[in-house]
C-alpha cells in the first residue's frame, strides 16, 4: 500500500488545509486540545452552539459528510479524501462529536434503506448539523443480545397503517439533544427473535417520548434512558421490510464499529507527550511500555487503512472492523491507569485546572469502561472476530429457532 498522496490527493489536501486555516474557530483550539474523552466539553461557550456553528460552516462550504452524494448534503468525494479531510481538520474534529452517530451510523442506514423522499428530506439536515440523530437499540434486558429487545411496535387499530410504540431503551448517547432517532422494535413475537424485528426512524419530539439522562461516574450525562408510551410512527418512516429489521440493523452495526473503531482515541499520543514533558521517557521501564503501545497504535492505524481501502473499492464495512474497537477500548483503559500511576498521588486530582496533564488521564479512566461496552461489548466483538473473521465454530444458541414469546425469561418453571 502506497501512503503517499497522489497529485489529485495532494491538491485536495492543500485546498482543505487552506480552508480550515481561514475558517476554523481558532479561539477554541487550545481548549479542544485539552478537552476530555467521551464527548465535547467546553467552558468558554456552549459546546452545542459551537459544534452546530462549525458544522454549518463546513456544510455551506461543501466540506460536510464529504463521501455522501451531493443530493444528500455531501460532496461525493472518495473515502481517501474523507480521511485527508479528517487529518487536516485535526483538533477541530472534536466539534463533530454530537453528530458522530448521525453521520457515521444513522445516515448510512437511511441512505441504504430509506425512500428517496426520506433521503432528500432528512440527510441534508443531518449533514448540516441542523438535526442531530441518536441510535435507539440497547434495552435493560437486551444490551449485548440486541435481538432480545422487547420494545413493541404494533399496528394502530384505526386502520391508518401507523405503528404504536411502547417500551424502553437505555444507554442512548445524545438522546437529549436529538431531533430524530433510529429505532429497532419488535413487530412479531411469534417468530424467532432475529426475524420479528422492524426498523423505523422516529421524531424524538413525538408525544409519548420521554428522555431521562443517566448520571455517570464522571458526573457527565452523555447516556440516556428513553421511554415510549403509545408513540405513533407513520409507516412511511419504516426502513426496510416488516420483519426485516435485523438485516437493516446490520448496516448500522457495521458502520458503528467502523466509525468507533477507526476514530476511537487510545490516549497514546497524550501519554507520550506527558512522559516526554516529565522526563519519564528516560526510564527504561516506561520506554518499554511506550514501545509496546506504539506498536499497537500503529497496528490500529494500518488496520483502519485497510478498511478505508475496502471502502474506496465500494465494499461494505465488514466484521473485521470489530478488531479496532476491541483493541482501542482496552488500550485506552490500560494507558489511563498507567499514566495515573506515573503521576503518583497527584493522579487522584481530577480538576483539570490543577491536575498534571489537565486531568486528561483521569477523564479517560472514568470514561473508558463505557468504551468497552458501547457499540458491542468486548465479549461480543471476540465472538464476531472468531466466527466471522477466523471462521471458528459458532457459540451454541439454544434459542435460535425458538419463537421469541416462548423463550423463558427466568430460570423458574
Catalytic positions are: 256
Distance CA 321, CA 319 (A): 5
Which run of H or of E encompasses 305? helix 284-312
Contact in structure between 186 and 140 (CB atoms under 8 Å): no
Closest C-alpha among 393, 392, 384, 249 to residue 325: 384
**Grid coordinates standing for 341?**
500511576
Radius of gyration over every alpha carbon of the chain, rounded to an integer in angstroms: 22
Angle at 209 between CA 206 and CA 210, to 5 degrees: 140
Neighbouring CB atoms inside 10 A of 240's CB total 20
Region of 56 on the Ramachandran plot (φ > 0 left; ψ -120 to 50 alpha; else beta): alpha
Contact in structure between 123 and 107 (CB atoms under 8 Å): yes
**Hey, which residues does 403 pair with through a beta bridge?**
192
**Grid coordinates standing for 279?**
522526563
Sequence-distant (6+) residues with CB within 8 A of 210 are 226, 227, 229
Residue with cell 443517566: 214
Q: Where are the alpha helices (DSSP H) in 43-106?
A: 47-60, 79-89, 100-101
Residue with cell 480521511: 83
Cα of 389 vs its chain's centroid, Å: 22
Contact in structure between 302 and 277 (CB atoms under 8 Å): no
Closest C-alpha among 54, 2, 16 to residue 32: 54
DSSP 72: G
Distance CA 118, CA 125 (A): 11
With 0-12 CB in 10 A as exposed, 13-18 as middle and 19+ as buried, what is 390?
exposed
Contact in structure between 328 and 299 (CB atoms under 8 Å): no
Amino acid at each position: 500500500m502506497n501512503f503517499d498522496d497522489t497529485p489529485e490527493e495532494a491538491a485536495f489536501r492543500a485546498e482543505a488545509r487552506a480552508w480550515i486555516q481561514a475558517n476554523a474557530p481558532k479561539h477554541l483550539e487550545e481548549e479542544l486540545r485539552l478537552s476530555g474523552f467521551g464527548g465535547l466539553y467546553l467552558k468558554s461557550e456552549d459546546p452545542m452552539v459551537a459544534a452546530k456553528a462549525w458544522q454549518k460552516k463546513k456544510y455551506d462550504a461543501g466540506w460536510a459528510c464529504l463521501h455522501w452524494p451531493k443530493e444528500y448534503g455531501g460532496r461525493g468525494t472518495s473515502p481517501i479524501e474523507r480521511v485527508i479531510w479528517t487529518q487536516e481538520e485535526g483538533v477541530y474534529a472534536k466539534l463533530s462529536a454530537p453528530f458522530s452517530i448521525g453521520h457515521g451510523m444513522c445516515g448510512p442506514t437511511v441512505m441504504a434503506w430509506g425512500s428517496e423522499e426520506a433521503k432528500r428530506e432528512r440527510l441534508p439536515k443531518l449533514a448540516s448539523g441542523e438535526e442531530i440523530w441518536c441510535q435507539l437499540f440497547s434495552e435493560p434486558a437486551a444490551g449485548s443480545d440486541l435481538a432480545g429487545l422487547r420494545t413493541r411496535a404494533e399496528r394502530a387499530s384505526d386502520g391508518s397503517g401507523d405503528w404504536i410504540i411502547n417500551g424502553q431503551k437505555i444507554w442512548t448517547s445524545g438522546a437529549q439533544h436529538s431531533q430524530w432517532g433510529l429505532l429497532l422494535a419488535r413487530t412479531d413475537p411469534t417468530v424467532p427473535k432475529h426475524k420479528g424485528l422492524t426498523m423505523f426512524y422516529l421524531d424524538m419530539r413525538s408525544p409519548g417520548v420521554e428522555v431521562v439522562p443517566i448520571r455517570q461516574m464522571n458526573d457527565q450525562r452523555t447516556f440516556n434512558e428513553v421511554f415510549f408510551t403509545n408513540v405513533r410512527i407513520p409507516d412511511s418512516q419504516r426502513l426496510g421490510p416488516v420483519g426485516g429489521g435485523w438485516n437493516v440493523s446490520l448496516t448500522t452495526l457495521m458502520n458503528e464499529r467502523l466509525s468507533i473503531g477507526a476514530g476511537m482515541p487510545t490516549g497514546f499520543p497524550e501519554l507520550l507527550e506527558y512522559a516526554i514533558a516529565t522526563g519519564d521517557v528516560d526510564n527504561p521501564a516506561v520506554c518499554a511500555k511506550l514501545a509496546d503501545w506504539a506498536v499497537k497504535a500503529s497496528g490500529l492505524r494500518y488496520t483502519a487503512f485497510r478498511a478505508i481501502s475496502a471502502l474506496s473499492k465500494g465494499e461494505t464495512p465488514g466484521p473485521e472492523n470489530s478488531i479496532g474497537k476491541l483493541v482501542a477500548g482496552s488500550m485506552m483503559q490500560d494507558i489511563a491507569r498507567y499514566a495515573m500511576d506515573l503521576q503518583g498521588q497527584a493522579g487522584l486530582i481530577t480538576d483539570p485546572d490543577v491536575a498534571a496533564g489537565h486531568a486528561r488521564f483521569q477523564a479517560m479512566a472514568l470514561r473508558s469502561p463505557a468504551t468497552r461496552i458501547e457499540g458491542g461489548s468486548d465479549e461480543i466483538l471476540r465472538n464476531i472476530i472468531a466466527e466471522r473473521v477466523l471462521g471458528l465454530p459458532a457459540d451454541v444458541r439454544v434459542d435460535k429457532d425458538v419463537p421469541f414469546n416462548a423463550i423463558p425469561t427466568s430460570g423458574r418453571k
